[in-house]
Amino acid sequence: MTSVVARIPGDRPVFSVEFMPPRDDADERRLWNSIRSLEGLDPAFVSVTYGAGGSSRDRTIRTTGRVVRETTLVSMAHLTAVDHSVAELRNVIGWYAELGVRNVLALRGDPPGDPMGDWVRHPEGLEYAEELVRLVRELGDFCVGVSAFPYGHPRSADLDIDTEYLVRKLRAGADFAIAQLFFEADDFLRMRDRVAARGCDALLLPGVMPLTTPKILSKSVELSGAQVPGWMADRLGPFADDPKAFRAAGMDVTEELSRRLLAEGVECLHFYTFNLSKATKEMVARLDLAPGREPVEANLRSVG
């Protein structure tokens, strides 16, 4: 299977997508409708999250396996250290390898039940994401990604310390990092500058969530750890009770953010989908990110 890095050519911008593990059979059908709908646009890769606190991991693993077996998509597996012994982590990594998965997003993960609670490692587990990166690299020829935080991880004392931890993860063997949500392009670009200033040139991908509803905007605040900028609140606030107008304005804001990132040399936009395809498909079309059918055929050859 092709690696994530190989799927980001650098001579033209591409996109990738992230899904959540289905909660029930109805959610699974909705997820697979979205996967099939986006498959024809040939995203650079797709991933399925572990869920908060490492929950839903069985559904995550099963869904990742289905993507590998039943689609032409390049799959990236999520893996966290939450409630896993090293032996269990080795088993999961081995299962991914047996499937043919070559790409792994290595995360320490949040404490179960309370993302802001105290982190307690498994008695026979790992303490830091950089240790998980090393373990994955030791066990096979994997392309490894890690998470990045434009506003700093909530547990980091400041941005300098947070950047140092990110660089340590990258130098431990990670090939790229995916940024958590942010509201303004400069938030991501400043993080990219901080990493470059430390002599690290690893690939950094921005996470983007199309703003289609007030609920999505609120979720963006929760996931990013930052408040909505005043200018954005002024622009979207008047449409809080008008779903159609809010969606139109929110999609315009998302497009403007994405265009600025692409203009600054970003090679791949990573879209958080909430297991729906319509907004992502529309944004891909607006930004002209779908490469057409030829790359899909090439991907078929690489998988086959």
Distance CA(274)–CA(208), nearest Å, equals 12
Contacts of 16 (CB under 8 A, 6+ apart): 4, 43, 44, 45, 46, 47, 76, 205, 268, 269, 270, 271
Q: Which of 178, 243, 163 is closest to 208 using CA atoms?
A: 178
Confirm if 48 and 302 have CB atoms less than 8 A apart.
no
Per DSSP, 108 falls in state: -
**Cα-based distances in Å from 89 to 47, 140, 142, 189, 278:** 18, 13, 14, 33, 35
Distance CA(147)–CA(137), nearest Å, equals 16
HEC-encoded secondary structure of 214-232: HHHHHHHHHHHCCCCCHHH
Q: Which of 223, 163, 232 is closest to 193 using CA atoms?
A: 163
Whose structure tokens read 């709908």? 37
Rg (alpha carbons) of the chain, rounded to whole number: 18
Positions annotated as catalytic residues are 18
Distance CA(284)–CA(280), nearest Å, equals 6
Distance CA(87)–CA(168), nearest Å, equals 24
Q: Which of 101, 104, 177, 154 is closest to 134 using CA atoms?
A: 104
